[in-house]
Amino acid sequence: MSPVAHLYLHLPFCSSRCGYCAFVVNVGALGRRDEYLDALLAELEGERAAGRIGELQTVYLGGGTPTLMRPRRLAALMERIRPHLAPGAEVSMEANPESVDGPALAALRRAGVNRLSLGVQSFQPHLLSALDRAATPAQARQLIACARAAGFEDLSIDLIFGIPGQTADDLERDLAEVLTAGPDHVSWYELELKPGTALARAGTPAFDEDEGADAYRRIVGGLEDAGYGWYETANFARPGHECRHSLAYWSAADYLGLGVGAVSTVGGERWRNAAALDGYLAALAAGEAPPRSREPLDADDVRRERWMLGLRLERGLPLAWAGPPDRPDALARLSAAGLLHHDAGAVSLTREGRFVQNAILHELMDYA
């Protein structure tokens, strides 16, 4: 088993749970942050001793709200990671506008975080309210300015479309705010009403499909016109600012995930740490690995995942790497329809095909 070059660290603490959130988060547990840091460092040491951590090309600190760990704890975490970083490694951290300020961002930059992903979601107050977001548009604008002042030259903004009550004018205003802010990278996802979330429990109706398609096309066109490359289904970047950590996922590279609920895929096996905070902390305090489930990945699992992930990318996927689709006859049909390009070596979606990527994937593959 080769050591991994990509590391994800899950920092689960949140002040509240957003209406659409289905992630592993812990609300009301801030008093356990020091205990959690100790556990996370113990898990990191265990993976290092097992030889699974190589020279790290990317590190991603996600959550939750990672900045609620505060700079002191995050600096201690970075101190333990730093010896494993490759020269020029990308170190990303998520942040919510209400959870951090200028001095804290400067401290994080000094600690070695060099890419910041800001969870803005929208600049419209009524849409933030619909999502149960705590931050205001003014806080988002201020944090963007603070991030630049702190020296972050790789700044990403996350947004959502298809929010209940969102109009075409709301979308135009959000797009204008993004272009004024001028981030290096934009992630703009369609709202998913996942089972168990507050929005789903409330019976929130799904966004109109035609309106969602129009919104998606407007986002893509508006960002491309402003010089952002549409390099992945929901991600856009100025040249040289693509998220290298996410590209590793979409390229089906091996990665380690540490922390409660985190997922790892290494050497043809996937494992997931259990989501219960108490069990995670108790196991690591006792010198044990965290409780986790394991899943072997056979050749068909790997092949299907490579198609699912690789078709999300503008560059497409090489067939020698991905293997054949489950229904190869669909390639000619989809090509004739103007939805994909294929030759003996590679498959990629046309521009029109990228707007219906999921439908194309299910024409090609069997995920039953």
For the segment 297-308, what is each residue's pLDDT rounded down to a tens digit? 999 999 999 999
**Phi, then psi, of 283 in degrees rounded to 5:** -65, -50
Q: Per-residue pLDDT averaged across 66-78, rounded? A: 97
For the segment 330-343, what is each residue's pLDDT rounded down to a tens digit? 999 999 999 999 98
**Predicted local confidence at residue 1, as pLDDT:** 65
Contact by Cβ (8 Å): 259, 273: yes
Please, is 58 exposed, middle or buried when counting C-beta atoms within 10 Å of its C-beta (0-12, 13-18, 19+)? Answer: buried
For the segment 179-235, what is each residue's pLDDT rounded down to a tens digit? 999 999 999 999 999 999 999 999 999 899 999 999 999 999 999 999 999 999 999
**Predicted local confidence at residue 367, as pLDDT:** 74
DSSP 289: P
CATH 3.20.20.70 placement within the chain: 4-250
- The pLDDT-based confidence of 174 (bands split at 50, 70, 90) is very high
CA dist., res. 190 & res. 188, Å (int): 7
Q: What is the dihedral of CA 41, 47, 48, 51, to 10 degrees?
A: 180
**Phi, then psi, of 175 in degrees rounded to 5:** -60, -40
Write out the two tokens for 70. Answer: 């505060």
DSSP 99-132: G--HHHHHHHHHHT--EEEEEEE-S-HHHHHHTT
CA dist., res. 4 & res. 7, Å (int): 8
Instruction: List beta partners, residue 62.
Output: 10
CA proximity to 259, closest of 239, 237, 276: 276
Name the residue type at position 99. S
CB neighbours of residue 328 within 10 Å: 10
- 3-state SS class at 329: helix
CATH 1.10.10.920 placement within the chain: 299-364
Write out the two tokens for 160. Answer: 């959502």
In the chain, pLDDT over 70 holds for what percent of residues?
99
CA dist., res. 152 & res. 143, Å (int): 11
pTM of the model: 0.96
**Predicted local confidence at residue 129, as pLDDT:** 96
- The pLDDT-based confidence of 46 (bands split at 50, 70, 90) is very high
Domain 299-364 has CATH 3.20.20.70: no
CA dist., res. 25 & res. 95, Å (int): 14
- 3-state SS class at 217: helix
**Predicted local confidence at residue 344, as pLDDT:** 79
CATH fold of 4-250: TIM Barrel (3.20.20)
**Residue the block writes with tokens 């030889």:** 51
pLDDT of 368 higher than 60: no
